[in-house]
Chains A and B, each alone.
Chain A
Amino acid sequence: MAFITANWNPLGEAFYRKSELYEMCWNLRDGLRDCLVSAAPYGGPIALLREPHKRSPSSRPQLEIYSASGVGIASFPWKSGPVVHLGWTVSDELLCIQEDGSVLIYDLFGSFKRHFSMGQEVVQSQVLEAKVFHSPYGTGVAIVTGSSRFTLATNIDDLKLRRLPEVPGLQGKPSCWVVLNQERQTKVLLSNGPEIYILDSTSCTAVCPPGLGPQAGSIVHMSVSFRYKYLALFTDSGHLWTGPSHLQDKMSEVDTKKSTPPKQMVWCRRPKSQQPSVVLMWDRLLMVAGVCNDTIQFPTEDQCVLVGELDGVRIISSANQELLQEVPLVCQDIFKIASMAPGALLLEAHREYEKSSQKADEYLREIKEQSMLGEAVRQCVEAAGHEYNTDTQKSLMRAASFGKCFLTDFSPDLFVSTCRELRVLNAVRESSVGLPLTHTQFKQMTLQVLIDRLVYRQFYPLAIEICRYLKIPDYQGVSRVLKHWASCKVQQKDLSDEAIARTVCLKVGDSPGVSYSHIAAKAYECGRTELAIKLLDFEARSGEQVPLLLKMKRSQLALSKAVESGDTDLVYTVVTYLKNEMNRGDFFMTLRNQPVALSLYRQFCKLQEQETLKDLYNQDDDHQELGNYYVTASYREKRLENRLSLLQSAVDEYNKAKNEFSAKATEEEMRLLRFQRKLDDEKGAGLLELSLQATMEALLALGLHKQAEQLYRDFRVPDKRYWWLKLKSLAEKEEWEELEKFSKSKKSPIGYLAFVDVCMKSNNTYEAKKYVSKVTPEQRVKAHLAISDLEGAADAATERRNESEMAAVLSRCSTSDRLLIDRLNRARACAVKK
């Protein structure tokens, strides 16, 4: 513990420390010499291409992929063309940029994914140098060709090549260049001898870094910081210029007293850095040059590679890997010798407490007197996050926990989350996993991405463990891991379909959010159709299965799944697909087995293809519907003959359906049509299209009583209706004598109140009165009221001793009918009594 500051080196106000991350697991015979190396930031994997320029077919260069801790992941001989540059994408894919401008993409395990080209003209001019860069848009590639032209692709997943304008006077490649990302624009900064240019998509502008005197010489190396904010330039006179990347300021200029350009130069800073610095590497020397003009120098034994990180620099050598970073302020506060910061005191207090010394109380009191206990706890927790050593983490967390006991309302959130995150980080830092992430990096990359990275490396159990430990909702956590796992599983060629399906189902179960159709699609991509079908069976979302099933030509299955989903649009989709794929007979048969699909298709036909509708009914021997079909069709006909023949077909079908009523009714309809046509022809009566009732009405109105009578008999019209009809017709024509005759022709089937009403409608009280006496006793009151004979109504009601009738009469009385009212009231009282 006491030596925690042993590896601290002062630089200006700040300290820099270099701590070991791993002893590398790899065993590299020739070290890193003669290798093309690329290590991804955020503790990403390392790719090595040995002797990239060896070209004899007998000994091809070997491409090797390692985890950050040096565990071998893949290794294979490089059979393609000469590689200029290696780089990693944000999703852990390896980009191999070849001389001819083609870019080959491999996954972590060395399997080829796809390739693209940086342009046709590059094949001729060849790539001289290339760089892979990251921006909010994804991973990009920049190249400079033999014809001194730059080409950019900002996002390799949405490839758009941009050829940048020519640089005046540039021959071959520039002395050095970097890719910048400024104001959402990707630019190239390059130097050609003493000149510096900025290249964007439209122009090439010469720039001059402020304060860089002409005596400084020409720029031979440059480096941009992790987030493109700062720029470092190294001149052939050994001067190091630093400043913001927009080149409008200068931060410092250091004379390194080195005449050779460094092999690598990387910014080393952290968010809220006190003292940003640049790390420069020569063959046997590592130099940290601060903005404050101070430097630290480390001798190096071996060939190294520097990897710039968000908050430091990783130094990878063939033997080990170290992290060089500025000591975070909070750690400085706590561990600086003789520090009186509250965190330092709390750590001390806890140490004394563990020794059962009363000094613990003294320290605590000192913190409390300044009311800094909360701050002390916070410091310890924060510092623990920055420490890599688990013992240091523990002692800091224990101190924090100890301090927390003396606080009443201190939110435990920070403490708890830091504890959890540290456990996760310690787990992934394990050499066997090999993700040397700092807490700052972890926070920046987010948990989601960390889980993705674990999944890319196929650390499924660990990923699931972490998801569960951190209680991430299944949908975003465990399920995602399982999905990846299953997609990977289905590609295992040595297992049978049956075995894979079983294992997948067992593990994935019905985890929410795992799409079996997605897994099945993967299986189908690998040519395992049978497996895909087996897997689709587990898919809960029937709708999801349909597109893939159609793609695999399992149309019958697709149809039943579509039906199952309940989504009628989906059913329609499959049906239209089947209709085009199958011959008509098979198509109909298929539908027949799927009633839901069949009725939907019928609906479709009703609106779009009437003829097909008939065929469908025919196939099912649905005579009832065929009958309806012909009836409907008959109305579309313009000629009576055609209409009649369609109606005859309807009659036939109704008969086959044993629907006697409909058959008869349709026959009647035909009879009526013929009758109407005949009369229209003979008398121009304009009957066609009228209903039977309306036809009789029209005939009576025209005085064609005989013909009306004929219809009445032929169509067996009920007496009641016919009497109503005749009654109304006569009254309308005011043929009162005829009416009276009619009333006496036989006993009225509709009673005589109807006669009263009809007369009154024509305001003929005189005629109405004739029928009042004939009305049945039950209706007599109504009849009297109809002709406004209140007296008569009152008499009838009183006679019948019917209370509600009396009330009805009363309601019609006005105040002037005093006598009548009294009489009725008396009768009413009398009736109620009884």
Chain B
Amino acid sequence: MAAHLSYGRVNLNILREVARKDLREFLDKCAGSKAIVWDEYLTGPFGLIAQYSLLKEHEVEKMFTLKSGRVPPADVKNIIFFVRPRLELMDIIAENVFSEDKLQSSRDFHILFVPRRSVLCEQRLKEQGVLASFINIDEYILDLIPYDGDLLSMEYESAFRECYLENDQTSLYHTAKGLINLQALYGTIPQIYGKGECARHVANMMLRMKREFAGSQNQILPVFDTLLLLDRNVDLLTPLATQLTYEGLIDEIYGITNGYVKLPPEKFAQKKQGEASKDLPTEPKKLQLNSAEELYAEIRDKNFNAVGAALSKKAKIISAAFEGRHNAKTVGEIKQFVSQLPHMQAARSSLANHTSIAELIKDITSMCHLASEAFFDNLTVEQEFMTGVETDKVNPYIEDCIAQKDPLIKILRLVCMQSVCNNGLKQKVFDYYKREILQTYGYEHILTLNNLEKASLLKPQTSSRNNYPTIRKTLKLWLEDANEQNPNDISYVYSGYAPLSVRLTQVLARPGWRSIEEVLKMLPGPHFEERQQLPAGLHKKRQQGENRTTLVFFLGGVTYAEIAALRFLSQMEDSGMEYIIATTKLLNGTTWIKSLMDRPESQIS
């Protein structure tokens, strides 16, 4: 099922297996048939750990979504609530339990808190008078979920908002705990680097937790050489830019959630001859996207402009393989051909899917299409900002977009980007944009604007000096003529812009951060280095030419394009470094800005 998790440099399937084992053990604790009541938010992340079949094997017969009222009738012995530790959910659970009692049935209740038990929540259940109704109250430690062979995500959507707007560091605590658990499975990581306030906080907690549990951890040869903790707010620019890799664009346009994407169905109509072809599917087409699919693994990180060529090359290979049947003469040869058929058919359907997706994207992005002009214009402005063209003036394109009432998030992305690239906007420009937004989209957005200001995404210029150009030049964030087909630098993922976060990672590996002290000081938050003592005898004896492994942890989210850039660095022959990526959540500019918005609903009737 999850073989792709074990193909990478680090076998992340171990993590998944541990998670599955824990789940099974909990389910078996509640003997007899069961129904699970889900906190809806959790179903996605759990999908990455276990399919319904696993639950079924352990007598889970029904699944419901947690909502107020009563748990739907089901002839089961146990009702298990799978929830995040949130007070509002506790109230709903209490209501569920109360309405159940009225029915006089004798179903057993259990709670599984994900990722951790909470005294506060149990207190609330006690106040509501239902705590004693639960036979088992347990926690399911699900911090880092294996997302792909080189990717871990906590799927903690609100992490950035909580850290930077609400000063709530719960997500960082879970991060530190997750990293400690990771070290228990993969050995102590000898070196920790970091940049940013949150990174510092996580590192401190990790080191403290390590001390607390010193001696109890098992002796494992370290798999990771280095851990790099990066605050999202060190690089606010990158997620705002439109990602231009294949996977990045799928995410920008259709949105990938928990590894799945939903696509308009028209392009995926079954092309069968005859009867059933007339009715088009109306349900969106749902596809799982990960490296288990060979073709996808090949093209996901390519610049979209290089995807077409890759697809047609693949098409040739596949049809050549099918042609092979004419060469099969002997029974043995035919048998061999037939044995390869399933694989070839899978490859063919995968190719068909991705050709369709690529067509969909092309309709939106390609330059020679009328509808795509907007996409292109938007990109041009983004690139102007990133190269520092007229970032201190009101941008006419943004003005036009507001006048056209383009989606607010698009406007916010652009305005924030301009602000970040100018190290804050001139007060006049700043106020002008805000007024335009409030007058066009409604005054309620004043709260959102305040939030963006708090997160430093949109701010007035305080010092006269704009240090973005210095950062851009020192870190070579902009490369003209990025080679999209055969890239030689990470800047290909944004067709010219090299993501700041990834550049920092690259420089850390070689020549080291000391070479960019000045720039690091311009970026927010402290940068630091810590070493963790390894027990004697666990120091790695490195084979010559053996790559080092770095775990890069993005606190507050990471984009698919950044991941692509890191994968590119891993594959570069002379880099000597392989990267595993971990994050609180996979995001793009749109989902990110959305998470920072506040929208009070008006009650006036």
Residues on A close to B: CB < 8 A? Answer: 473-475, 479, 510-513, 540-542, 566-570, 572-573, 576, 595-596, 599-600, 602-604, 607-608, 624, 628, 631-632, 634-640, 643, 661-662, 665-666, 668-669, 672, 688-693, 715, 717-718, 720-721, 724-725, 750, 811-812
Contact = CB atoms under 8 A, between A and B. Distances in A.
Given A513-B216, A628-B450, A715-B439, A568 B173 contact: yes
B276 interface: no
B72 to A, nearest CB: 27
B604 A689 contact: yes
Given A572-B120, A603-B166, A635 B443 contact: no
B604 A662 contact: no
A603 B168 contact: yes
B119 A566 contact: no
A497 to B, nearest CB: 25
A479 B214 CA distance: 11
A724 B600 contact: no
Contacts of A570: 119
Interface string B182-219: 00000000000000000001000100100111111000
A473 B215 contact: yes
B88 interface: yes
Contact residues on B (Cβ < 8 Å of other chain), bracket:
35 or more
B168 A568 contact: yes
Interface stretch (B430-438, B503-511, B520-528, B579-587): B430-438
| Smallest CB-CB A-B distances: 6 pairs | A512-B215, A635-B600, A599-B167, A724-B403, A669-B443, A512-B214
Best-surrounded residue of B116, B176, B603 (most CB of chain A within 10 A): B603
Contacts of B214: 510, 512-513
A153 B590 CA distance: 67
Interface in B60-119: 85, 87-88, 116-119
A479 B215 contact: yes
A542 B88 CA distance: 28
Interface of B: 85, 87-88, 116-120, 123, 166-170, 172-173, 176, 201, 205, 208, 211-216, 368, 399-400, 402-405, 431, 434-436, 438-444, 446-447, 450, 598, 600-605
A624 B439 CA distance: 21
Interface residues of B: mostly helix, strand, loop or mixed? helix
Interface residues of A: mostly helix, strand, loop or mixed? helix
A713 to B, nearest CB: 13
A480 to B, nearest CB: 11
Contact of B87 (A608, A640, A643, A691): A608
12 contacts: A569-B85, A596-B169, A603-B166, A635-B601, A636-B603, A638-B605, A661-B434, A665-B434, A691-B439, A693-B440, A693-B441, A750-B400
A595 B201 contact: no
Nearest to B442: A691
Contacts of A724: 400, 403-404
Contact of B439 (A568, A604, A607, A717): A717
Contacts of B600: 631-632, 634-636
A662 B439 contact: no
A474 B601 CA distance: 59
Contacts of A573: 119-120, 123
Contacts of A572: 118-120
Given A576-B123, A603-B166, A665-B434, A721 B443 contact: no
Contacts of B400: 720, 724, 750
A111 B116 CA distance: 42
Contacts of A725: 403
Contacts of B172: 566
Given A511-B215, A661-B434, A691-B439, 9 more contacts: A540-B211, A599-B168, A636-B603, A638-B605, A661-B431, A666-B443, A691-B443, A721-B439, A750-B400
Given A661-B434, A721-B403, A628 B216 contact: no
Best-surrounded residue of B169, B205, B368, B434 (most CB of chain A within 10 A): B169
Given A572-B120, A662-B446, A720 B399 contact: yes
Contacts of B405: 693
Contacts of B436: 718, 721
Contacts of B602: 635, 689
A603 B368 CA distance: 50
Nearest to A512: B215
Contacts of A692: 438-440
Given A607-B88, A608-B87, A665 B435 contact: yes
Given A479-B215, A608-B87, A635 B603 contact: yes
A607 to B, nearest CB: 6
A662 B435 CA distance: 10
B399 A721 contact: yes
A18 B116 CA distance: 60
A202 to B, nearest CB: 26
Contacts of A720: 399-400, 403
Given A566-B205, A661-B434, A689-B604, A595 B447 contact: no
Given A568-B168, A595-B167, A662-B450, A672 B399 contact: no
A475 B119 contact: no
Given A689-B602, A692-B439, A566 B446 contact: no
A540 B212 CA distance: 6
B123 to A, nearest CB: 6
A760 B399 CA distance: 22
A600 B87 CA distance: 13
Contacts of B440: 691-693, 721
A759 to B, nearest CB: 16
Contacts of B87: 604, 607-608
A475 B435 CA distance: 63
B172 to A, nearest CB: 7
B446 A631 contact: yes
A224 B405 CA distance: 93
A513 B603 contact: no
A68 B166 CA distance: 65
Contact of B443 (A607, A665, A750): A665
Nearest to B430: A661
Contacts of A512: 213-216
A541 B177 CA distance: 13
A774 B436 CA distance: 28
B442 A475 contact: no
Contacts of B447: 628, 631-632
Contact of A475 (B123, B176, B216): B216
